[in-house]
Structure formats: structure tokens, C-alpha cells
Amino acid sequence: MDLLESGRMAVKTLTANKLRSVLTMLGIIIGNSSVIAMVGIGQGAQRLASEQFESLGPNVLFVTPGTREARNRTFDLPKTLVLEDAKAIKEQVPTIREVAPQRQGQFPIVYRNLNSNSLVVGTTPAFLSVRSFDMAKGRFITDQDVARNNQVVALGSDLATRFFGNRDPIGEQIRIKGTSFQVIGVLQSKGAFLGNNQDDAAYVPLTTLANRLTGRTSPYGLDLTFISITARDEKSIRAAEFQITNLLRLRHKITDQDDFTVQTQKDVLRIVGTITGGLTAMLAAIAGISLLVGGIGIMNIMLVSVTERTEEIGLRKALGATQRDVLIQFMIEAVILSAAGGVLGTMVGVGGILAVGAFTPLKASVAPAAVLMAVGVSGGIGLFFGVFPARQAARLDPIVALRSA
């Protein structure tokens, strides 16, 4: 019997038991689609995070309180990074251009009968240039606002739309944590950064945030969430990092372990890439388990099929079919199930990626390597898990098979 005839018989057998065949393929479909979707979404998240940091420019540095190890262990970081540190960096580090200290938190914001629990960022005028923001209307915080603790606020585009719709919000009063603030401007849409929607945020003078909303929580001064810094140019980044580190060590009287971290854009991108790459691999591995389960399902169904078709196998062998003929037919059935499941799973996975890319900010895309790997593995799984049932069928003695039937 040739391969073409064996293939026809395999297809005929599988289509005769449509429900069983579909249920058998289900594990492969789920596994294939999960692997493709997880890899595509993971790469999309990595691409989105990279684009967010790259949009800041290559000469940006960040200073955060605590060491990397401390941030991994606890959320209770030292409150030693203060506004005076930011001022010292601005005045004493010659390789930097702008310094934007920042303190932030979630607070209730109310306008008339509308309310929102949104991010409130306390900062200085340098925030616009350091973080590459632009104003859509009105103005941003000024040095005078910071010096006088003025109760003024610039709104992110989403927050402004939620409260005021198409109306001009300039001059309107909103309340943040029960304190009245005058709207002085609206920022252009910027998107998310580090998991925070920057368009659903309110920006107030740093001193006003500390004195009116949060209070001063550090004995060292006005403590900060982080400091954003722009170096003079890309070549100055390493020099600026070295000078900032030495200055803060001197100011904090550090003799042992630092209580702060200075990171460049490249450092952050490398960390983000490592984290998202690890998460993508983990998700793909978890999804890959579904492929293994699907393969076991194929083997289980094929073994049941061998038991049910004992009479058919005995009759075929009595009429002259060889062990090889029976082995090939059952192997073809297993490969057809896994290949069909692989193709359908690929279609579902690609559809899922396109849906995620269309309806979320993630830059999800189809990874050809993931598609090839998933389809190849699903076909290999069918071949591998189909061998044992096929050999069981091929070894049946025709006399015993016909007698047991």
C-alpha cells in the first residue's frame, strides 16, 4: 500500500469520527495559539517599554532612592533623596543641562459632581524639557509657582477630557484631596510610562504637593520619588553619572553602601529587556505545556482507536497488509491531527495578537520564529506521541485480533 492510499484511509477514518478528532486537536490548538500569542504579546510589551524610554532621548539619567537590591526586597525605601540633592546636582555637576525632581502619589480629584482617583505629580518647570512634554493649551508650572506654593495645576489630556469634555478648562477650579487648585494648562497626550498613564494625571508645583497634600515625611528635607536629569549630550552621560554618584555620596556621607541608584537610559532599557524577555520565555514555556498535554491527548485517543479497531486491523493484516502499512496509517492519522491543530492554533494565535495590537497600547506583533517553532513542535509532537499507538496496532496478530473481535 502506498503513502497516498494510507493518507486517504487516515483522512476517511478521522472524518468518520469528527467530534473525537476535533476534541483531540483541541489541546494542540490551545497550545499552539498560546505559544504564538504569549511570545507576540511579550515582544510587544518589550517594544512598548523600549519606545517609552527611547522617547526621552539618549542623554537622560534617573536617580532613585535605595539600591536595586533594596527595591527588589522592599517598598519601604530610604527617604534620603531630597529636593536639596536635586538643587546640588543642578548647581555642581557641569556635565548636565536640566534637572527635574519629582514626587508623586494617587489622590482623589473632584470637579463638581465628577471625581477620579488619579496620579498627582509634584515637579518643577524643567519637567517639560527633561521628559519631552508639550503643552496643548495654557501654561505649565513656573519657578514662581514653586517658590510661592501656588495652588495651580496642569492636567493630562485624558483627565481634562473626563472633567471638562470639549470645554476650555483654563481658570476652572478642581479639588485635590480636598484642596482647591486652579487649572492653568493642559498637556498634549503622552501615553503611559512605567505603568502610569501620564495623560490621566495632574501636575502641580513640587512644594505645593509637599506642603498641601502629602506633608513632609523625611527628616532630611522634601523627599522625592526620583530625579530626571538630562546630560549636555550623549557623550557626557558616563561623566555625568560618575559626578552625580560622587556628589550624592559626599552629601549623604556614605562610606559603605549607596542609598540611591543612578541609571542611564541604556541601563533602564537593559533591565526592562531582561525582565520582559524573561517573562516572555516563562509565558511561552507555560503555554508550551499545553502542547505537551495535547500530544498526550493524541496518544490516548490513538490507543483507544487501536482497541476499537482491532477487528479492522486483523482483517487488513489477514488480507495482506504488512506491519509497515498499519504503522504508517496510524502515524499519518496522528500527524494529520497535530498538523491540523497546529494550523488552526496558528490562526487563533495570530488573530489574538492582531486583536491585542488593535485594542491595547501594546505593540504586539506576529513573531515568525514563534510561528515556525509552534507549528514544527506540534507536528513533532504528533509524530512522537503517535509512534507508540501505531506500533501497538502494527504488532497485533491478525488471528488474535479477529478472534477477540
Q: Are residues 191 and 118 in the same domain?
A: yes
Using the 8-state DSSP alphabet, how is residue 211 labeled?
I
Q: Are residues 229 and 320 in the same domain?
A: no
Q: Are residues 142 and 47 in the same domain?
A: no
How far is CA 26 from its chain centroid? 27
The answer to whether residue 238 is domain-embedded is no
**How many angstroms separate the CA atoms of 181 and 17, rounded?**
70
Max distance between CA atoms of the chain, in angstroms, equals 101
* Closest CA relative to residue 345, chosen from 281, 290, 401, 276: 290
Angle between helices 323-359 and 368-394 (to 10 degrees): 150
Q: Are residues 223 and 295 in the same domain?
A: no
Which of these three, 233, 268, 288, is where a domain ends? 233
Q: Are residues 303 and 351 in the same domain?
A: yes
Q: Are residues 14 and 111 in the same domain?
A: no
**How many angstroms separate the CA atoms of 296 and 317, rounded?**
27
Strands 114-123 and 201-205: parallel
Report helix, strand or coil for 61.
strand
Q: Are residues 131 and 199 in the same domain?
A: yes
Q: Are residues 284 and 177 in the same domain?
A: no
* Closest CA relative to residue 36, chosen from 359, 374, 277, 378: 374
Domain count, the chain: 2
Residues spanned by the domain of 369: 3-51+280-404
Q: Residue 194 — left, alpha, or beta (φ > 0 → left; ψ -120 to 50 → alpha)?
A: left
**How many angstroms separate the CA atoms of 150 and 208, rounded?**
6
Q: Are residues 142 and 84 in the same domain?
A: yes
Q: Are residues 172 and 296 in the same domain?
A: no
Q: Are residues 212 and 131 in the same domain?
A: yes
The answer to whether residue 62 is domain-embedded is no
The answer to whether residue 60 is domain-embedded is no
The answer to whether residue 13 is domain-embedded is yes
Which of these three, 233, 248, 270, is where a domain ends? 233
pTM beyond 0.85: the answer is no
Are 170 and 220 spatial neighbours (Cβ–Cβ below 8 Å)? no
The answer to whether residue 248 is domain-embedded is no
Q: Are residues 364 and 308 in the same domain?
A: yes
Which of these three, 203, 233, 263, is where a domain ends? 233
How do the pLDDT tens digits run along the chain, 405 residues long? Answer: 566 776 777 777 777 778 877 877 887 788 788 878 888 887 777 777 776 666 666 688 889 888 766 555 555 666 888 999 999 999 999 999 999 999 998 999 999 899 999 999 999 999 998 888 899 999 999 999 999 999 999 999 999 999 999 899 999 999 999 999 999 999 998 876 656 678 899 999 999 999 988 887 778 888 898 999 988 887 888 899 899 999 999 998 888 888 888 888 777 767 767 777 777 778 777 777 777 777 777 777 777 777 776 777 677 777 777 777 777 777 787 788 888 888 888 888 888 888 887 777 676 777 777 777 777 777 777 777 777 776 776 676 666 655 655
| CB burial string 140-156: b at 16+ within 10 A, e below | bbeeebbeebbbbbbbb
